Structure 1
Amino acid sequence: MDNPENDDITRDEIKKEFQLERMILFSDAVFAIVITLMAIEIKIPENEPLTDAHLPEALVHLMPTVLAYIVSFGFIGAIWYQHLKMFSLLKDYDRGLVIRNMLLLFFVGLFPFSATLISRGKGQMIPFFIYLGMILCCVIAQYVLYHYIVKGRPSLRINTDLSEHEKELDKRKIAVIGFSLSALLITTSYFMIPDPGMKPFAMLWMCVYAVVFRVIVKRRFQKSGKLPR
């Protein structure tokens, strides 16, 4: 005879798997819509004549928009890939997971707005700061979600080796701290530099961050005997 208790467990597991799948599909839809909305911004104005004489100039004016799309596409693609890896660890969900996932999607959803500001800002720094802030918020939100999955709620995870994920989480913690500090230094330096022509050099802090982050991560994992990928 069938065991009713086992049937209840099976139905409960199927229900949890289905609900978790819905959350993943919803997240994928948000990522896809955000990328689509940014691509829609790449368009030549309707009043622009598409003649051999005017088309090259119109395409040149589109380059900031295309560049913003390329950078944003790469960043959102990286977030989606990490999101895929994170959710591959899950077998269940709870309120905390849903809230943290929605927080990440909230900031991802603002990318079309911030990318549009960059493309139409014509070299202004305020749109750049807004765009940088969106990236920082996404990085922090993703770290919070990742930490919740790996460290916060073990009961939600499948039984698997977490050594690679713990190493990745450690790297992301360093990245969040370093990126936050770099954003603060860029903003402070920009407003403290009196010469308007020198203000764009404040962005060099991002290059310093990239180098220092690589050195710190390499030394940290060499000491622990685990080299980062």
Structure 2
Amino acid sequence: MSQHQNEEIIREEIKKEFQLERMILFSDAVFAIVITLMAIEIKIPETEILTDEMLPKQLFHLLPTLLAYVVSFGFIGTVWYQHLKMFSILKDYDKGLVIRNMLLLFFVGLFPFTATLISRSKGEMLPFFIYLGMIMLCIIAQYLLYSYIVQRPTIRLNIDLSEHQAELYKRKVSLIGFSLAGMLVVLTYMCIPDPNMKSMSTMWMAVFAVIYNIIIKRKKSKMAVIPKI
């Protein structure tokens, strides 16, 4: 192989790395903007004079907004961390990767709207269902992206994928479990006649969290007893 050919290969590799880096930076910017927009919603209503007596009351009214921000920040932070792990094994990109990444960013970008909606709902369940739906759409988009990366050897590094396959299994269990829990929440909400008790339907999400942890722990214990060759 001539020196000119070597230079062309190196130039092409640098170009791919630069373009992939641009995709990562763009994705990080979207995550950062989403978190910033959610933080902007945490503000005390404008009043003429904010006295010491009024401040505790105003802060108390901000509790739903703060709770929505904390939950949303935790979820978006988790999605970003998993996005970081996914892109750490990439060496190239293609159209399929770009489309799936943009799909994930599209749903992530809607989080400030849904977080604001649920913080201002004052106990209404419809905004809560919209919020759960947005979480589910993010989980679906993330699973599609992760699965695509793992199954495409042409764009990822030639490394041991056992850790990423285990992570992909967790995402699959999370997707199935969250979808079932969401449907049970809606069905239970529709079946409870007492309006004051309808909020109890959200307990299915706690049940999902417990079952999810049990399944993942059992999977880890089975993997631990398998002898390595």
TM-score, normalising length: structure 1: 0.95
1:1-229 to 2 correspondence within 5 Å? 3-47=3-47, 49-151=49-151, 153-225=152-224
Instruction: Give the SS at the match of 2:159.
Output: coil
**1:114-159 CA deviation, whole Å, 9 max, x = no partner?**
00011100011011001111111111111110000012x1110112
Instruction: Give the SS at the match of 1:197.
Output: helix
Select between 87-96 and 208-217 the one with higher mean Cα deviation. 208-217
Give the letter aligned to residue 196 of structure 2. G
CA distance in 2, matches of 1:129, 1:172: 21
Count of aligned positions: 226
Instruction: Give the SS at the match of 1:154.
Output: coil
CA distance in 2, matches of 1:86, 1:223: 24
CA distance in 2, matches of 1:218, 1:191: 33
Instruction: Give the SS at the match of 2:90.
Output: coil
Instruction: Give the SS at the match of 1:188.
Output: helix
Q: CA shift at 1:226, angstroms?
A: 6.2
Give the letter aligned to residue 34 of structure 2. V
Give the letter aligned to residue 222 of structure 1. S
Structure 1 gaps, min length 5? none
Q: CA shift at 1:221, angstroms?
A: 3.6
CA RMSD in angstroms, aligned pairs only: 1.5
Q: CA shift at 1:3, angstroms?
A: 1.4
Q: Is the 8 A contact 1:49 1:55 kept in 2?
A: no
Instruction: Give the SS at the match of 2:154.
Output: helix
- The 1:77–1:48 alpha-carbon spacing in structure 2 relative to 1, beyond 3 Å, is farther
Q: CA shift at 1:163, angstroms?
A: 0.8
**1:138-190 CA deviation, whole Å, 9 max, x = no partner?**
11111110000012x11101121111111111111111100110001101111
Q: CA shift at 1:101, angstroms?
A: 0.3
Q: CA shift at 1:2, angstroms?
A: 6.0
CA distance in 2, matches of 1:45, 1:218: 45
Structure 2 gaps, min length 5? none
CA distance in 2, matches of 1:91, 1:39: 34
Identical positions, percent: 69
TM-score, normalising length: structure 2: 0.95
Instruction: Give the SS at the match of 1:90.
Output: coil
